[in-house]
Amino acid sequence: MNTLVASDSKNLGGGQKLRDLPFMDLYVRIDEGGKGMARFRSPGRDYSNNWSRPLPDSYRIECQIIAEDIRKNIDNPDSSYQFDGIRFRLSYQRLANGQEWVILRRINSRVPTLEELSLAPQIIEYLRKLGQRDGLILISGPTGHGKTTTSFALFADFMRRYGGVGISVEDPVEYNLDGPVGDYGYCYQVQVDKDEDWATPLKRALRWTPRYLLVGEVRSPRAAEQILRAATTGHLVITTIHAGSVEESMMGLMHLAEQSIGHASNYMLAQGLTAAWHQTLNATGPYLRYIFTEENNNGDPVRALIRENKVGMINSYIDKQAARMSVLRGIDPVRGRRE
């Protein structure tokens, strides 16, 4: 995919600049009959009111440039794209009526700190301690509710605080974190080729003996296998998965891994799980449901339920941990924030 640079839009003649429009998603029709048709969706946590709306005419010229460039150069339906200094995650769809559209999700180039995620200081302190452990951190939630942002904030914080090599495996690369992180951390970011199974770059990444491994999303049985193997061989792995709850995220990961390694998947997840949480965003901030396992304790009740394929019963332990956290820390057990 070719990219446009800032100079391409400097002389557009009076129109407002897209980079100044506060949007999260840009929907652009790219077939020749589209004539610059586009819609946008504003960022925000009130998901009942941030519907898409027509893009104002003042941005039409830039939109036409984007549509023409993508139409001529698109070679991957899911990739990254850049225009006038804005980075996007691009996804292409051909509709049933023959129209061709892309959605461009705006990517912030700077990785936020854990404090900027609006979590309570006590939760942040607990999450930071996970950087001293091995295993798997599994983050789930709906699309657009901050899973990638949270995973990168953790990933960067661990390297900045504890040092070591971190490798991210993504498609596409979103946040720019390549290079030194803090005084003793260093990050390498791997872009997965469009025709490559995620398991292959994951296997290569493990040969670099990373302390931390971030996997953009669990997408295939062999990738799920590699994630579990890494989590049980001395690495700390952070990954995301689309799921409606903590329990569903575990079952989804085990189902994928089982297609590659059979019934051993539940034993590997039981051994490797360090933490899992499901997060959603609304107007008041992040809502969390979380579970943490006990370090170096194979008899941990959560691990036992996973081994016995009774993941659905973990819900009671989620509630117990949340209640205990709220009593000991004085925080809202759902939001993870001080009342």
3-state secondary structure 224-287: HHHHHHHHCCCCEEEEEEECCCHHHHHHHHHHHHHHHHCCHHHHHHHHHEEEEEEEEEECCEEE
Structure tokens at 53: 């709306």
The reported pLDDT for the residue numbered 24 is: 85
Render 77-117 in DSSP notation, one character per residue: SEEEEEETTEEEEEEEEE-TTS-EEEEEEEE-SSPPPSGGG
Tens digit of pLDDT at every position of the chain (339 positions): 434 333 344 444 445 788 888 888 999 999 988 877 899 887 655 544 567 889 998 898 999 999 999 998 888 788 888 898 888 989 999 999 999 999 998 887 789 999 998 887 888 988 999 999 999 999 999 887 889 999 999 999 999 999 999 999 988 788 889 999 999 999 999 988 766 778 889 999 999 999 999 998 888 899 999 999 999 999 999 999 999 999 999 999 999 999 999 989 999 999 999 999 999 887 666 788 899 999 989 889 999 999 999 998 998 888 888 777 766 555 444 444 443
What's the confidence (pLDDT) of residue 247? 95
Q: What's the CA angle centered on 149, arms 258 and 207, to 5 degrees?
A: 50
Using CA atoms, how far apart are residues 331 and 121, in angstroms rounded to an integer? 10
Question: Rounded to whole angstroms, how far apart are CA atoms 66 and 56?
Answer: 15
Per-residue model confidence (pLDDT) at position 77: 83
Cα–Cα distance, 292 to 95 (Å, whole number): 43
How many Cα atoms within 13 Å fall on the side-chain side of residue 9? 24
Domains and CATH numbers, the chain: 6-107 (3.30.450), 115-329 (3.40.50.300)
Cβ contact 301:317 at 8 Å: yes
pLDDT number for residue 44:
59
- Encode burial over 104-127: b for 16+ CB neighbours within 10 A, e otherwise: bbbbeeebbebeebbbbebbbebb
